[in-house]
């Protein structure tokens, strides 16, 4: 996945009036973790979506594993957010702000664990995000520490229908997963509704969190979709959240693979 440093959020496109049926949303399934899952990151001038999406997914799943055991995970506690910065700094076989893969991020977390760390503005936890979203910045220097998790993945190039069912089953069982999609030029304009690309101008691959799914009905036509969270701040999309067509491998979201792990609690 490449760097997206040049992008600017432009005017948002609105869809015609449609109705939506949310079939599954991790924030509703585990309400104790809604505030955690709703944290919207801003990767700023750094192509580290692969690290931010993976670390955020870990944070979501850490909360969910605790919720399953009746434990609370307050969003105000800095120890309850894993460090995007450590994943960015320490993951082998990646290029920091110039790109990387969630596969290596999850392998790193399995082998080395991850320390706590909030966003740039809060500056809390062991290793908060060191890159100011408003300005360009150098890659942070590695400072690695540890906690073990077991990891898994949905393999790339799986048949679309099989991938959809496997992704749904994993999200239902354990919470959000780290997905990968291709980004096209019109994705920067996204404002609301179910995204389907309208251009052939591909920009890069991109790491995201997938947290649920549902259906959109417009003029009697039903379109399944994924609910996903981006890392471009709350000014983009629906306060940082978006919906993307499901079941048709839109932007290769179902055939580029998905990644996840189960934190030890």
Catalytic residues: 49, 206, 230
Dist CA 97 CA 95 (whole Å): 6
Q: Which among 122, 83, 103 has a CA at the least distance from the CA of 177?
A: 103
CA-based Rg of the chain, rounded to a whole angstrom? 17
Dist CA 132 CA 235 (whole Å): 16
Name the residue with tokens 């792990």.
261
Distances (CA, A) of 192 to 151, 227, 232, 238, 241: 33, 12, 15, 6, 9
Written as one string, the DSSP assignment of 101-153 is -HHHHHHHHHHH---B---TTT--SSS---S-TTS--PPPPP------EEEEE
């Amino acid at each position: 996945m490449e760097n997206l440093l040049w992008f600017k959020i432009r005017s948002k496109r609105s869809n015609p009036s449609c109705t939506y049926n949310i079939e599954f949303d991790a924030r509703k399934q585990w309400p104790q973790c809604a505030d955690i899952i709703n944290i919207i990151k801003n990767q700023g001038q750094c192509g580290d979506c692969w690290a931010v999406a993976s670390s955020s997914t870990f944070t979501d799943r850490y909360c969910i594993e605790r919720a399953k055991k009746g434990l609370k995970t307050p969003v105000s506690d800095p120890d309850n957010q894993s460090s995007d910065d450590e994943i960015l700094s320490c993951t082998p076989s990646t290029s920091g702000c110039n790109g990387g893969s969630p596969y290596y991020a999850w392998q790193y977390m399995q082998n080395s664990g991850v320390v706590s760390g909030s966003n740039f503005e809060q500056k809390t936890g062991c290793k908060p995000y060191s890159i100011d979203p408003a300005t360009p910045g150098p890659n942070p220097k590695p400072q690695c520490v540890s906690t073990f998790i077991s990891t898994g993945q949905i393999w790339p190039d799986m048949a679309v229908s099989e991938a959809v069912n496997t992704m749904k089953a994993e999200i239902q069982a354990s919470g959000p997963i780290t997905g990968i999609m291709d980004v096209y030029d019109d994705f920067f304009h996204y404002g609301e509704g179910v995204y389907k690309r309208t251009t052939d101008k591909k920009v890069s691959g991109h790491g995201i969190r997938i947290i649920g799914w549902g259906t959109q009905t417009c003029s009697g036509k039903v379109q399944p979709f994924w609910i996903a969270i981006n890392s471009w701040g709350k000014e983009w999309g629906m306060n940082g959240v978006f919906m993307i067509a499901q079941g048709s491998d839109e932007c290769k979201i179902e055939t580029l693979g998905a990644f996840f792990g189960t934190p030890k609690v």
